[in-house]
Structure 1
Amino acid sequence: MLEALPGALSLRESTGGMRMEMYRKDRVRCVKGAGNLREYRLTQKTKTRRVIAACCNTPMFLDFTEGHWIDLYGHLWPADTLPPLQMRTMTGDLEDPSALPGDVPNLKKHSAGFFVRLLGAWAAMGFRRPKIGYVEGALDVGE
């Protein structure tokens, strides 16, 4: 649905997946254009929101509002500055996961190691859950 917005870029890679970069919320801030950010939630009760720059319909990040991290869409980085890929997760959702390259682990679900790293980052933050308060309003998707 987000890719169908006027002027929106494709989020999916040739594998069918989306490149996401996880960061601690206390290490990410918006330095310009926060007034253009809008949220989109799949339902009114969902705790996950996609944040889009409404001026150009560019998806910026996915925010699990009760978590301590955000997932930044990988398409935002120039290719030469994108952090190295460490793993693919949720590959069990693909029709043919065997078509994925073997350059990094292709995990069917999230691994125990993934959750250990996530918990370690949260501990390093003093178990805080910063809020991202600079997103103003909901995205009008014409539903």
Structure 2
Amino acid sequence: MLEALPGAPRLREATGGTRTEMYRKDRVRCIRGSANLREHRLTGKTKTRRVVAACCNTPIFLDFTQGHWVDLYGPLWPEGSLPPLQMRTMTGDLDDASALPSDVPNLKTHSVGFFLRLIGAWAAMGFRRPKIDYVEGVLDIRD
């Protein structure tokens, strides 16, 4: 849906997945252009929101609002600067996961190690859940 917006970059990789990088909310800032950020929620009750720069329809991050992290979309990084891929998760949702490369673990869901790292990061934050309060308004997506 976000890729279909006028001028939006491609989010899905050749594998069909969407590359994201997880960061603690206390380490993410918008230093310029926050007035252009809009949120999109899949339903009125969902706790995740996709945040898009409405000026160019570029998806910026996915925010689990009750969590302590955000997932920054991979296409944001300049060529050659994206951190190395560590794992693929939720590959169990694919019709045929056998086509995935074996360069990193391809996890059907989230692993225990994944959750331990997530909880460790939260502990390092003093179990805080910072709010990202600089997103202004809702993205107008019409079917």
TM-score higher than 0.5: yes
* Aligned position for 1:141: 141
Instruction: Report the AA paired with residue 91 of structure 2.
Output: T
Q: Per the alignment, in what secondary structure is the counterpart of residue 120 of structure 2?
A: helix
Counterpart CA distance in 2 for 1:91 and 1:53 is: 28
CA-CA distance at 1:10 after TM superposition:
1.0
Distance 1:100 1:141 in 2: 31
Match of 2:80 in 1: 80
Write the distance in 2 (CA, Å) between the matches of 1:15 and 1:3. Answer: 16
Q: Does 1:112 align with 2:112?
A: yes
Q: Distance in 2 between matches of 1:109 and 1:127?
A: 24
Match of 2:102 in 1: 102
**TM-score, L = length of structure 1:** 0.98
Aligned-pair identity in percent equals 78
Over residues 64-107 of structure 1, what are the superposed CA-to-partner deviations in whole Å (9 max), with x where a residue is unaligned? 00000000000111131100100000011111111111110000
Larger helix share, 1 or 2: 1
Q: 1:15 Cα shift?
A: 0.4
Alignment root-mean-square deviation, CA: 0.7
Structure 1 stretches lacking a partner, 5+ long: none
How many pairs align? 143
Gaps of 5+ in 2: none
How far, CA to CA, are the matches of 2:82 and 2:8 in structure 1?
20
Amino acid at match of 1:99: A
* Residues 1:128 and 2:128 are matched in the alignment: yes
User: Could you say which residue in structure 2 is the equivalent of 1:54?
Assistant: 54
Rounded Cα–Cα distance in structure 1 between residues aligned with 2:130 and 2:35 = 19
Q: Scaled by the length of structure 2, what TM-score is found?
A: 0.98
Match of 1:40 in 2: 40
